[in-house]
Structure 1
């Protein structure tokens, strides 16, 4: 990809993400501000919904905590943008999904952020590493979102693996 094409694509993604903010220019300014960690607060439920999944569930599904291995696994499964919220005390992954999807997720370990009342810390499109919030998988283009059924599959697998590990621990068997 040439530099100009990459720049155009990145600008398109940034404009798309900023369009979710009531003042898109404010979102762009927040991305440029190192004091804000290059993260803009953007309301959910305007151009995408967000499913926030506890890191322990994602890591149990992946079978690893390494950032690169988690990214490779998620890239092969969910096919869309994922933010790792490493600033949060609960440390979670946020999956951007189509509006109206995933409303059934209401548990502590995986829940859809309430549209219209929740603001998500969205890193600038080029922020793909720690520290703080970063894109595990950045949007590739305008309207790029995760496939909801695959996000559901990931959550089920993580919960299943956590339950198996807890059962093994209760029985006192080595893993």
Structure 2
């Protein structure tokens, strides 16, 4: 392959009639199947979504989660407004998925399954801030992919940052940066 042919091969392809574009609905379906595959009985988790709007999924195989206290996230986002916090998380996590649990006053950043093991030493330090790395042996209440805002009159969990596509998770370093900033801003540095 010559430089000229390689350069042509790397150029964007203009859209043509008949090229499929994945709509949000198609992505949500793929995301739902991916999330449900974490459950030993996916149909049971799907039923939980239908009946309760949230499914309890095991962590540590497809994904893990970092639980962030709401006060820490508010301090870093410099806001108490949900919309502002959600926008901040979207930017700070580079569109990595995060769940808001308004009842528990927590956020959950979804991360690769091995993060609790690989970041074990940092996770030990983070406990003093109320941050927990949840992996094998833990479960997380995960809202339906369509639940992307707080429903009026409820305290149901929702996607503060929706999962962009199946299997796309937060980068651990992005989550660690939020925690480090929160530690500094809340005066918990030692």
Range into which the TM-score falls when normalised by the shorter chain: 0.7 to 0.9
Tell me the TM-score normalized by structure 1: 0.84
Corresponding residue for residue 99 of structure 1? 113
Gaps of 5+ in 2: 1-19
Corresponding residue for residue 139 of structure 1? 163
Tell me the TM-score normalized by structure 2: 0.78
Q: Is the 8 A contact 1:60 1:159 kept in 2?
A: no
Aligned-pair CA distance for 1:53: 0.8
**CA RMSD of the aligned region, Å?**
2.0
| 1:72-93 alpha-carbon deviations (Å, 9 max, x no partner) | 11111112000011122xx110
Q: Higher mean Cα deviation, 13-22 or 123-132?
A: 123-132
CA–CA distance in structure 2, aligned partners of residues 77 and 71 of structure 1: 10
Q: Higher mean Cα deviation, 101-110 or 16-25?
A: 101-110
Q: Is the 8 A contact 2:59 2:113 kept in 1?
A: no
Q: 1:123 aligns with which of 118, 137, 143?
A: 143
| 1:113-150 alpha-carbon deviations (Å, 9 max, x no partner) | 1x232110000001112232111011111111011101
- DSSP-derived class of the 2:137 partner: coil
**CA separation of 1:4 and 1:149: change in aligned 2, threshold 3 A:** closer
Q: Is the 8 A contact 1:84 1:136 kept in 2?
A: yes
Q: Is the 8 A contact 1:62 1:73 kept in 2?
A: yes
Corresponding residue for residue 20 of structure 1? 38
- Structure 1: 4+ residue segments shifted above 4 A: none
Q: 1:152 aligns with which of 176, 179, 186?
A: 176
Q: Is the 8 A contact 1:62 1:158 kept in 2?
A: no
**CA separation of 1:124 and 1:8: change in aligned 2, threshold 3 A:** same
Corresponding residue for residue 83 of structure 1? 99
Which is higher, the Rg of structure 1 or of structure 2?
Answer: 2
